[in-house]
Amino acid sequence: MPLTTYWLEHAWLGDTVVPGVALDVADGRITTVRPDTPTPPPGATPLRGLTFPGLANAHSHAFHRALRGRVQAERGSFWTWRDTMYQVASRLTPDTYRALATAVYAEMALAGITAVGEFHYLHHAPGGAPYADPNAMGEALIAAAADAGIRITLLDTAYLSSGFGEPPNEHQLRFSDGTADAWAERVHALKDTDDGTVRIGAAIHSVRAVPADQLATVADWARDRGAPLHVHLSEQPAENEACLAAHGRTPARLLADHGALGERTTAVHATHLTDEDIALLGGTRTGTCMCPTTERDLADGIGPAVALQRAGSPLSLGSDSHAVIDLLEEARAMELDERLRTRVRGNWTAAQLLRAAGADGHAALGRPDAGVLEPGALADFTTIALDTVRTAGPPPRLAAETAVFAASAADVRHTVVGGRQVVRDGTHALVPDVPRALRDAIAALLD
């Protein structure tokens, strides 16, 4: 079992910046953490800057990356944005999706992201006919993550209706398996990998997209498999109003009544909640994934993240529609948006925000053994430079605050996944020209 040693100029250990740390890595995991190592040991790979656990992008729709710039050209709303999204979805094939997702996941690696939660609902061919391999689109995403060198939790999504009691529209036929039982039968063929690079989870797209009498089928599948379960929750007031009209209860209460909340569940967005909803999520230890850059891009609103965390809901972060891919910006935005809403500073410390972007995000994706720099943890970590125009100046002891409140994805210098250096000195080792890969993949769909 070969041993690799990385020397970290500054390391985020626990909640403290520690100078001069050697990490020994074998078989994809950290075996030894050696502080008080002021210079690189012989044969060690030096990582200069601040190294912290790899970031977890807990909510992604990879194909939405093709919308960047295009959906900002006019005003519109979430619902007009969705119409443009449908147009892109209609053009994807397994091959073009793999090419696009590889480029998107490579962009994530460049941003220090070592694991992604892909909320995947684009299952079938246009018109809804299954591919010869019914999981061809999901397998394309799994292959793309391997091509880009990051871990993936494929959150295979049940999407069965266009609204309460309504069949899928023409755009949504690609998304639907017809019934939750048929969804479960298809997803059963997808498997985790022994090395932890692939984890299969489940998702309920939303309470409007899965009939109430089929919610339990998806929740039970995830529970029986011990898999993560994610769900878009109360992203729009219109969803709440329609749910109240159809069922006489909020989406959160509907999910609770059908056994879909709990410690393995993550509610995405949770923007428009009642006090009772917040208590339900917190009391069941259901996690919450906030996606501030998408929520502000779509003018969705600012979710009650502070109240949710105080109630007992662990927070994670996602880049969702990929208006930008920058988990440091997501962390910063969660705090700064809350400041604007409440006119109170310091709702979270830098340490708490790094935990949301790291350990709690990995846990939401089914990897509780990631997100820390300690023996036995997955050897997934990233390094930001402390000498750029954004990060130069503060003393190293404030490097975490510098990372969260000043740095960006552009400051990431190294990314290591499973002990392998995927990004070295700002260059992706597996996808040498990520901008070109993005440009070519998007042009194949839209130009």
Per the structure block, which two tokens stand in for 223? 């529970």
What is the residue whose two structure tokens read 């969260």?
404
Helix, coil or strand: residue 4: strand
Per the structure block, which two tokens stand in for 165? 């009691």
What is the residue whose two structure tokens read 């109170």?
344
What is the residue whose two structure tokens read 């397994």?
94
| 320 is an active site residue | yes
Q: Which of 320, 326, 360, 411 is catalytic?
A: 320
Backbone angles phi, psi at 292, to 5 degrees: -60, -35
Single out the residue of 430, 1, 378, 4 nearest to residue 196, CA to CA. 378
Backbone angles phi, psi at 79, to 5 degrees: -75, -35
DSSP 378-434: B--EEEE-SSSTTT-SS-GGGHHHHHHHT--GGGEEEEEETTEEEEETTEESSSS-H
Q: What do you get for the CA distance between the two ends of the chain, in Å? A: 48
Q: Which of 61, 269, 414, 428 is catalytic?
A: 269
Say if CB 263 and CB 284 are below 8 A apart: yes
Query: What amino acid positions are annotated as catalytic residues?
Result: 269, 320
